[in-house]
Structure 1
Amino acid sequence: MESYDLVILGGGLAGMCAAVEAGEKGASVLLLEKLDELGGSTVLSSGYMAFTGTDMQEVAGIVDSTESLVKDLQEVGGGVNDSSLITFYAENQLETYSWLVGQGIEFRSLEAVSGHSVPRGHIIDPHQAIQALYKKVKQLPNVIIRFCAPAKRLLKNEEGRIDRVLYESEGAEQTVEAIKGVLVTTGGFAKDEALLGQFAPQLNGALRIGGRGNCGDGIKMAWEHGAWVNDLPYLNGTYGFHPSASGAVKMQGLAFYKGAIMVNQLGRRFVNESISYKLLGKAAFEQPDKITYQVWDQTVMDKSVADDPLYDLELLRRRRLLYITDTLEELADCIDVPLEVLEETISRYNQGIQTGEEPDFGRKTLTHNFGKPTPIEKAPFYAFESTVAMLATYAGVAVNSAAQVLNPFGEPIPGLYAAGEVTGGFHGAGYMTGSSLGKAAVFGRVAASEALSGAAIK
């Protein structure tokens, strides 16, 4: 039987960060990747990472703090997320940012996105990030990645410690020993209809565009050994995808965080557009026939950010996904909503924005506590049909700040660690953009360090 210090299950951002961290510490590492390529959900993401105190913020003149980051995470999470995980993340994110830069990961620009009080969304190309880490791994002779090798079960010894992994490779079952620990970084279950039906029946009908390997394998394997789970009641889809996004091109636009409003097929607003787009997805899915539109004007269109995965509104135009008209009458006709209702909706919204007392849903900002909305009045006018997608599940096994998997009594399961989307407790009821990739990197590295040091609670 093969033996390694650390066995990692899954080659997304969390798993790759852990592999490099452990490899650089001199440990022998085996990473088992279910598919024939690395990346998992990471390469489907918008590429935002939530960091504060960085050189990029300093150059942009942005004043931020770890206290503000913690406060935003708590508010967006509805106060039901684990404060110890949030605090640990805030205290360790800046060092991880520097570490990522040192690994050759390129941070392109900075934006304020969902849940941010100031711009702290540091944008990467997820493919470039994964490849940079893979390049590093290939320079480490003590780290091996085995593709098309799905893990099947976790095995424990007589003392109850997880110390082996049963997996498939080249059509045969193999068993590998993990001397220091097993790290589960297998992602979520966005592609498992049985689990979605069990825990998110309210999302029946949402687009399914998660990673093709995200079938809940890691959660099931950990469950078998008594892992507790967190955040499952708060599962929501992600809003802002065009209905065609289940095809090859996953087009998403979040114009509402630049000042657009959201209306249903009756022509009425139904939500404060500045809240987390997870909660926006929940609200949108409750609308008649689940049909909604983002509506904006040229003032908002001028805020388009080239090559940004969420804010490149001009790309939506070039791909002919927008309705564009010179009058609201024409726009109402295009999206088949009652003109008088749409005009009243926009008039009432504009008046509220101008007076600072938006009467219907209390919108005061563009996103969370950042930015000032503008009236929708400058032609041409735009509309983007938008729906909800199950992209990532953001719920899973309970962990502590040492990335140890916990049982229902809050006790660590010996030898078992987890990081990334497979874990729960960090996000709570909402989602701050950039915190998913951020926590994957931070806790992936922490898991590797804690497993190898043996300093964590046994």
Structure 2
Amino acid sequence: VDGERFHDESPWYGHITGVGMSQPGGAYWAVYDSKIREAPRPVKSTPSMDKTKEVKANTIEELARSAGIDAEGLKKTIDKYNSDIDSVGYDTVFGREHLFGPAGLLVKIGAPPFYAVKCATSITSMKGGLKINGRSQVINQYSEVIPSLYAGGEVAGGLHGKSYLLGVMTSGAVTQGIIAGKNAVKEPAF
């Protein structure tokens, strides 16, 4: 791992997942300092957060060595990032202007201790699936209803494209489930 940034970190996770998959082994490191680590604390620690294996060190070089990252590359990358924030107020390498999406000011990485977490890409949802009609009935390739077969949510295709708004998959699944249920109870018993 060379310690260089490979993408603007501010977009939604779908973009980062795509470029993350292009990294060796589909994995990459998130590096941050103590101020960044303590900033987003709206909730108490959860079991999944407690299982996160953070690498912690008092210097960037120590952190890099502990994480298996090229120390010179990481130090150079962080120095450039911090210098950009000081001199022009944004990241000149990728043009990043905001902390996340279109909001928030960029934050320098400089307050020890420093942390790194290895991130791996994963599939958290499906955007494809069975073709359904407006009654949530599954239809075949000829647009004919397959009797007594209903689908909704992630197993039903067509509701979402490559991207979607966070949280709307649940509402789509609930809505399609209600539609499917109301229509399924009208079916004759097997």
Flag the structure with higher strand content: 1
Aligned amino acid, residue 56 of structure 2:
I
Tell whether the 8 Å contact from 1:267 to 1:337 is kept in structure 2 after alignment.
Answer: yes
Aligned amino acid, residue 290 of structure 1:
G
Alignment of 1:439 with 2:172, yes or no, is: yes
Match of 1:398 in 2: 131
Say which of 24, 35, 41 aligns to 1:304: 41
Distance 2:161 2:17 in 1: 15
Tell whether the 8 Å contact from 1:284 to 1:292 is kept in structure 2 after alignment.
Answer: yes
Q: 1:432 to 1:350 in 2, by over 3 A?
A: farther
Distance 2:4 2:34 in 1: 20
In the TM superposition, what is the alpha-carbon distance from 1:394 to its structure 2 partner? Answer: 3.2
List aligned pairs for 1:285-364, cutoff 5 A. 285-302=21-38, 303-307=40-44, 316=49, 318-319=50-51, 321-353=53-85, 355-364=88-97
Tell whether the 8 Å contact from 2:57 to 2:63 is kept in structure 1 after alignment.
Answer: yes
In the TM superposition, what is the alpha-carbon distance from 1:396 to its structure 2 partner? Answer: 0.8
Report the secondary structure of 2:30's partner residue: strand
Tell whether the 8 Å contact from 2:127 to 2:162 is kept in structure 1 after alignment.
Answer: no
Distance 2:45 2:178 in 1: 27
Match of 2:13 in 1: 277
Say which of 367, 382, 387 aligns to 2:120: 387
In the TM superposition, what is the alpha-carbon distance from 1:335 to its structure 2 partner? Answer: 1.3
Give structure 2 stretches of 5+ with no counterpart: none
Report the secondary structure of 1:385's partner residue: strand
In the TM superposition, what is the alpha-carbon distance from 1:323 to its structure 2 partner? Answer: 0.7
Distance 2:139 2:24 in 1: 41
Report the secondary structure of 1:374's partner residue: coil
Tell whether the 8 Å contact from 1:332 to 1:339 is kept in structure 2 after alignment.
Answer: yes
In the TM superposition, what is the alpha-carbon distance from 1:322 to its structure 2 partner? Answer: 0.5
In the TM superposition, what is the alpha-carbon distance from 1:350 to its structure 2 partner? Answer: 2.8
Q: 1:371 to 1:438 in 2, by over 3 A?
A: farther
Report the secondary structure of 1:445's partner residue: helix
Give structure 1 stretches of 5+ with no counterpart: 1-264
Report the secondary structure of 1:292's partner residue: strand
In the TM superposition, what is the alpha-carbon distance from 1:342 to its structure 2 partner? Answer: 0.9
Which runs of 4 or more aligned residues in structure 1 lie more than 6 Å from their structure 2 counterparts after TM superposition?
none
Tell whether the 8 Å contact from 1:325 to 1:382 is kept in structure 2 after alignment.
Answer: yes
List aligned pairs for 1:205-220, cutoff 5 A. none
Aligned identity (percent) is 29
TM-score when normalising by structure 1: 0.35
Distance 1:365 1:425 in 2: 32
Aligned amino acid, residue 433 of structure 1:
L
Distance 1:292 1:386 in 2: 5
Q: 1:431 to 1:296 in 2, by over 3 A?
A: farther
Q: 1:375 to 1:406 in 2, by over 3 A?
A: farther
Aligned amino acid, residue 34 of structure 2:
Q
Distance 1:404 1:368 in 2: 37
Report the secondary structure of 2:130's partner residue: strand
TM-score when normalising by structure 2: 0.77
Tell whether the 8 Å contact from 2:52 to 2:117 is kept in structure 1 after alignment.
Answer: no
Report the secondary structure of 2:29's partner residue: strand
Q: 1:377 to 1:451 in 2, by over 3 A?
A: same
Say which of 77, 101, 118 aligns to 1:368: 101
In the TM superposition, what is the alpha-carbon distance from 1:428 to its structure 2 partner? Answer: 1.5
